[in-house]
Amino acid sequence: MKARETQGMLLGLVGVMIFSLTLPMTRIVVAEFHPLLNGLGRALAAAVPAALLLAIRRETWPTWPQVKSLAVVSLGVIVAFPVFSAFAMKTVPASHGAIVNGLQPLAVAIYAAWLSHERPSKAFWVSA
């Protein structure tokens, strides 16, 4: 494997490891803070450095159709997932949430196959 590919795989592994801590850490935080503060605070903590980076790099503003698409995605990724996860961690163990999170990629694959009228192979579904 080339050095660049190895670096990419290692960074991907680190990303997966960090993401795996999302629910256990959320469970710890919501014991002390309101779930809404936790969910939206995470979004704010990510938005500030992202906005600074975009400003420093002088990136172009998105077009109106892109803004509409970004708004839809943001509602789910920035608001719904963290806030609902935080509320869930108030009442269920992180391990239960991990099962739901683990099933999300399969649900996305099913929806994408249905939406695009594609028929992935049996090997794909077995591995999924």
DSSP-assigned letters across all residues of 49-87: HHHHHHHHHTPPPPPHHHHHHHHHHHIIIIIIHHHHHHH
Residues 99, 78: one domain?
no
The amino acid present at 83, given as its one-letter code, is: V
Residues 19, 33: one domain?
yes
| 57 to 47, 48, 51, 52, 88: CA distances (angstroms) | 15, 14, 10, 9, 38
CA count, 13 A, side-chain hemisphere, 92: 13
What's the token pair of residue 11? 């960074």
Residues 36, 64: one domain?
yes
Residues 82, 118: one domain?
no
**pLDDT of amino acid 102:** 83
The residue-averaged pLDDT of 76-92 equals 91
Residues 124, 78: one domain?
no
Q: CB-based contacts of 106: which residues, under 8 Å, 6+ apart? A: 128
Residues 13, 74: one domain?
yes
Q: Is the pLDDT of residue 63 over 90?
A: yes
CA distance 10 to 16: 10
Residues 23, 71: one domain?
yes
Q: Is the pLDDT of residue 128 over 80?
A: no
Residues 64, 106: one domain?
no
**pLDDT of amino acid 123:** 87
CA distance 66 to 51: 17
Residues 55, 22: one domain?
yes
**pLDDT of amino acid 71:** 94
Local confidence band at 108 (pLDDT 50, 70, 90 cut-offs)? confident
Residues 16, 30: one domain?
yes
For the stretch 6-27, pLDDT in tens is 998 899 899 888 888 889 999 9
Q: How many structural domains does the chain have?
A: 2
Residues 128, 85: one domain?
no
Residues 78, 58: one domain?
yes
**pLDDT of amino acid 126:** 85
**pLDDT of amino acid 30:** 93
pTM of the model: 0.74
Domain that holds residue 60: 3-91
**pLDDT of amino acid 19:** 85
The amino acid present at 97, given as its one-letter code, is: G
**pLDDT of amino acid 86:** 93
